[in-house]
Amino acid sequence: MLDLSEEPLEENIEICKSYLERMAKIDLLLEMELGITGGEEDGVDNSDVDTSLLYTKPEEVWQVYESLASVPNGMFTVAAAFGNVHGVYAPGNVKLEPQILHDTQAYISEKLGGDDKKPVFFVFHGGSGSSVDDIRYAIKAGTIKMNIDTDTQWAFWDGLRAYEAKNREYLQGQIGNPEGPEKPNKKYYDPRMSLRAAEQYMTSRLCQAMEDLNCVNVI
């Protein structure tokens, strides 16, 4: 994934195309991003950005598609902005507009004049906390990938938190617990135990994502 969304669109496209020309020779796929994903991640804070920048225009995606599709053997996906944000926020603070993806497919399909109604492979950035309805509607518009980093981070932490809460009385010292003052606690504070609980919680969240994305029993 090459994220140059903070750069001017023309520069973003030019650099992405130069990379795709090299990547196509070894059958690598490029994921490019345009528009701005709101919220904060990795030190980049777009919380107060002009909200109009959170919604990509079909004409902008067409510029990307027209340029990258001209690369022989080029394979690419487009992470277009439709109100996405990094992180999870209270209901009402985020307004996703997956209709933008449908409108963009229709616009580009008309430009191409062919039978392909979904010529663009979209990526859904900032998928954490999104409703199943929005996710499924984005899929219908040609979305083939969704990022849920924030949700998986929380799931991992939630597993650690739950493990500590369940075993708190066995985690206050190396020796001594409700079973006796001389009982050892090694098997409880072994980091593999708490990390395993975190992994199980994260696995559960990923299984939920597979359901949301219609990916269960699908190759």
Spell out the domain ranges in the chain: 9-147, 149-219
pLDDT digits (tens, 9 = 90+) for 187-206: 999 999 999 999 999 999 99
Enter the tokens of residue 137. Answer: 């509607």
The CATH T-level fold of domain 9-147 is TIM Barrel (3.20.20)
Collapsing DSSP to helix, strand or coil, 117 comes out as coil
Please count the helices (runs of H) and the strands (runs of E) in the chain.
Answer: 7, 9
Backbone angles phi, psi at 144, to 5 degrees: -115, -5
pLDDT value of residue 35 = 83
Percent of the chain with pLDDT over 90: 76
Expressed in angstroms, the distance from the first to the final Cα of the chain is 23
Mean pLDDT of the chain, nearest integer: 90
Q: From the CB of residue 30, how many other CB atoms can be counted at a distance below 10 Å?
A: 21
pLDDT value of residue 32 = 96
By CB atoms closer than 10 A (0-12, 13-18, 19+), residue 120 is buried
Residues facing 39 on adjacent strands: 86
pLDDT value of residue 102 = 97
pLDDT at 207 over 80: yes
- Cα torsion 85, 88, 92, 97 to 10°: value is 30
Here the contacts of 97-103 (C-beta below 8 Å, separation 24 or greater) are 97/55, 98/134, 98/137, 98/138, 98/141, 99/137, 100/55, 100/56, 100/58, 101/138, 101/141, 101/142, 101/143, 102/137, 102/140, 102/141, 103/58
pLDDT value of residue 129 = 86
Q: Which amino acid is at 190?
A: D
DSSP code at position 198: H
